[in-house]
Amino acid sequence: MNYADIEKLMNPIIKNFKVYDAMPSNETLIQKYSINSEKIVKLNGNENPFGPAPEVIDNLINIPINTYPDPELIRSRKSLSEYTGLNIENIVVSSGSDELIDLFFRIFVTPGDEVLDFTPTFGMYAVRAGLAGAKIVPVSRNIDFELDYESIKQKVSDKTKIIFLASPNNPTGNESTLEDIEFLLSLNKILVVDEAYFEFSKSSYANLVEKYNNLVVIRSMSKWAGLAGLRVGYGLMSKELAKLLMGVKNPYNVSTVAEESLIVSLKYVDKLMEKVDEIIVQREKLSDALDQIDQIKVYPSKANFLLCKLADNDIQTINNALLNEGVFVRLFATKGLEKCFRVSIGSAEDNEYFYTKLQKVLKIQ
C-alpha cells in the first residue's frame, strides 16, 4: 500500500493541517546555518535561564519511575490549591498548558465552527483550532496590540464557541485589562485566559473563575519554575468544567517526574520568585539599553521577553548575522510582525552578549 492510498483514508482535516512553527533545537540551528561560534546564547524560547529549584534536581533520584502516575494527580492539585487559593475541585493538572488548549478545542469545537484569533498572538491557538476543524477568523489588534472591541463584536457569531486570550500576550508582551475580560465574558462564550507568564506580570484573573462559569485560566510551570523540559501546567476553572476535563484527558497525562517536580517547586516559591524578580530587573535593563538604538523600537513587556521592531534593516539579514554570532532569537511570519524579533530575557551575561552582538550586526560603534 503506497502513501497516496493511505492519504485517501485520512481525515481531510489532517491532510490540510497547518503544522505549528515550533522552535528548532540548538543542534538543528547550528547544522542548518553552519554556525561556528564558540558561544551559543539561546534567547528564542522564553526559557528560564536559572533553571528549576535545586531541590527539584536533588529529588529526581527519589522518584519511582517504575509505577504509573496518579490519574487524579491529587498531590499536585493539593499543592496548586495552596499556591492559587482555589479549591482542588477547580484545578486540572496537564502535560503543559498546550494539552489544555488542545482539550478545550476538542471539547467545544466541531468542524465548521469559528474561532476568533486575536492576531498577533500565540500561534498554537490557531493550529489546534484548525486541527479541530474550525474556521480561523483573524481579528487584528490595534497599533498598541490592544483588543479591538468593535471588530470583535462584528466577527463573533453563533458559530463562535470558545475564545482564547493570552495575558500577557505572546509575542507582544502586553497585558489584558479587567475591562477586556469582562467584555469577552459578556459575549457568552467560553473564555480561556492563558496566563503562562503570570509570575512575571504579577497580574491574574484566576480569582474570577468561581464567579464566572465560562471563565478558564491556564498556566505553565515552564517559564517561572524552569520545568519546560518536563511539560507540566494546570488549569483553573469551575468545578463542573474541571470534572469534565478530568474525565476527557488521558488518565496518565502527567508523568510522575513532572508531578513530583511541580510539587517540590511549589515548596520553594520564594526562591523561585527571587529568580523571577531578577529576570524582571534584567528585562527592564535590556529594554532601556535597546531603547537607545535608533533602528529598533522596543515594545513594553510584562513577560520574560521583549518584542523588538527593526526600522529599516532587513530582518532576515540581521537574524542570519546574529546566528553566525551564536545568538538565537525568534522571528515571526505573522502579519504585522514581519520586521520584528522576540528576544527572551537570559542571564545578565547572556543579555550583554546579545546586546553587544546586536550592535555589531547593526554596525553601531
List the CATH number of the domain containing 313: 3.90.1150.10
Band of pLDDT at residue 52, cut at 50, 70 and 90? very high
Residues 108 and 146 in one domain: yes
The C-alpha cell that represents 12 in the structure block:
481531510
Residues across the chain: 365
Whether the pLDDT of residue 161 is over 80: the answer is yes
User: What are the distances in angstroms from CA 171 to CA 94, 159, 257, 324, 348?
Assistant: 23, 27, 30, 24, 21
Residues 223 and 144 in one domain: yes
Residues 70 and 45 in one domain: no
The C-alpha cell that represents 311 in the structure block:
526600522
Number of domains in the chain: 2
Q: What is the pLDDT of residue 365?
A: 45
Q: Which domain holds residue 307?
A: 3-50+270-361
Share of the chain above pLDDT 70, in %: 99
Residues 80 and 107 in one domain: yes
pTM of the model: 0.95
Residues 141 and 77 in one domain: yes
Q: Which long-range contacts (CB under 8 A, 24 or more apart) does 152-157 make?
A: 152/116, 152/118, 152/183, 152/184, 152/187, 155/116, 156/116, 156/187, 156/189, 157/114
Residues 39 and 62 in one domain: no
* Per-residue pLDDT tens digits for 240-267: 999 999 999 999 999 999 999 999 999 9
Nearest by Cα to 104 from 76, 77, 124, 84 = 124
207, 242, 268: which is the final residue of a domain? 268
Average pLDDT over residues 122-140: 94
268, 302, 320: which is the final residue of a domain? 268
Distance between CA atoms of residues 52 and 225, nearest Å: 6
The C-alpha cell that represents 304 in the structure block:
520574560
Whether the pLDDT of residue 364 is over 70: the answer is no
Band of pLDDT at residue 110, cut at 50, 70 and 90? very high
- The upper half-sphere exposure of residue 22, i.e. CA atoms within 13 Å in the direction of its Cβ, equals 6
List the CATH number of the domain containing 212: 3.40.640.10
Distance between CA atoms of residues 152 and 264, nearest Å: 42
Cα–chain center distance at 217: 13
